[in-house]
Amino acid sequence: MLYKDRGMAKWQGLILAEHKKQIQAAVKKYNSEVARKNQMSDEEMTTILQNAFNNRKTIKIQLNTLTNGQYQRDLVGTIKGFEVGTLYIDNSNELVEVEIDSIRHIEYVENIKWFE
C-alpha cells in the first residue's frame, strides 16, 4: 500500500497559527479610528484636484461625512473625470462618484515603484 499524501492538511496547523495573528493585527488596524484631517479651503482643493487630474496623480480624499460618529476611510484613486460638482475616482475596484462639496481633505499619494 502506498503512502497517501495529505497535501496541505499536514501544514494546516502551522498556517492557521501564523495567519490568525496576521489577520487579528489587520482587523485591529482596519477598525482603528480614522484621524480627523483639517478642512481645506476651496482654493487649496481646486489646485490639488487640477494638478492631480492633469498629471494623473493618485490622491487620497477624506470625505466630510460621519458614520457612527467616525470619519470614513480615505478614498484612494485617480481622477477619471468630472462634471459640475462631481468627481469620478477610479480606486482600482470601481469608479466612485464623489460630490466635491462633501470633500474635507485631499492629499497626494506617493506612488511606490514596483521594483523597489
**What pLDDT was estimated at residue 14?**
62
In a domain, 6, yes or no: no
Q: What is the longest distance spanned by two Cα atoms in the chain?
A: 78
Contact status, residue 79 vs residue 88, Cβ threshold 8 Å: yes
Q: Are the beta carbons of 109 and 58 closer than 8 angstroms?
A: yes
Range of the domain at 57: 42-108
Residue 68 lies in a domain: yes
In a domain, 8, yes or no: no
Q: How many domains does the chain have?
A: 1
The CATH number of the domain where 101 resides is what? 2.30.30.100
Q: What is the pLDDT of residue 41?
A: 92
Domain assignment present for 50: yes
Give the chain's residues under pLDDT 70.
Answer: 1, 3, 5-15, 112-116
Residue 89: count other Cβ atoms within 10 Å of its Cβ. Answer: 21
Do the domain assignments include residue 100? Answer: yes
